[in-house]
């Protein structure tokens, strides 16, 4: 569980950097004034800024339930093949979701990948809660 968790945290860190770079690019070369980010109002932002910001926000929703599952797994010192497989599946789904979200942004593909990740997360929680 440590490796999938570490890779998820790396994805989150990378998306912080990507979102920051996109925002600064929009300020330097685009229609966005730096003051827009005071209260997020003013000129409309380019789609690439919206997509990266929305994806970063998404990484603080369902993935935090995964982080909680990892913490629980560590605290009860429990792991299994199903748990590890599902953890890798969840993290892979988040990487794919991110790539789709910040590039082609096809909602049907994103929804399918989200559903797959949710499935893996449910398997993780069923496995963990069955130990109590």
Give domain limits for the chain: 2-129
3-state secondary structure 96-127: HHHHHHHCCCCHHHHHHHHHHHHHHHHHHHHH
Q: What is the pTM of this model?
A: 0.93
What is the per-residue pLDDT across 89-129, written as a single tens digit (0 to 9) for each?
999 999 999 999 999 999 999 999 999 999 999 999 999 99
CATH number, span 2-129? 1.20.120.550
């Amino acid at each position: 569980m440590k490796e999938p968790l570490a890779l998820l945290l790396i994805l989150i860190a990378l998306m912080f950097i990507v979102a920051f770079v996109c925002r600064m690019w929009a300020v330097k070369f685009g229609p966005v004034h730096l003051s827009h980010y005071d209260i997020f109002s003013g000129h409309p932002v380019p789609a690439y800024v919206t997509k990266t910001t929305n994806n970063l926000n998404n990484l603080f929703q369902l993935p935090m339930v995964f982080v909680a599952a990892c913490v629980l797994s560590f605290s009860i010192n429990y792991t299994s093949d199903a748990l590890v497989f599902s953890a890798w599946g969840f993290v892979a789904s988040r990487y794919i979701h991110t790539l789709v979200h910040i590039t082609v942004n096809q909602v049907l593909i994103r929804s399918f990948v989200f559903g797959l990740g949710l499935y893996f997360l449910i398997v993780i929680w069923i496995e963990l809660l069955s130990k109590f």
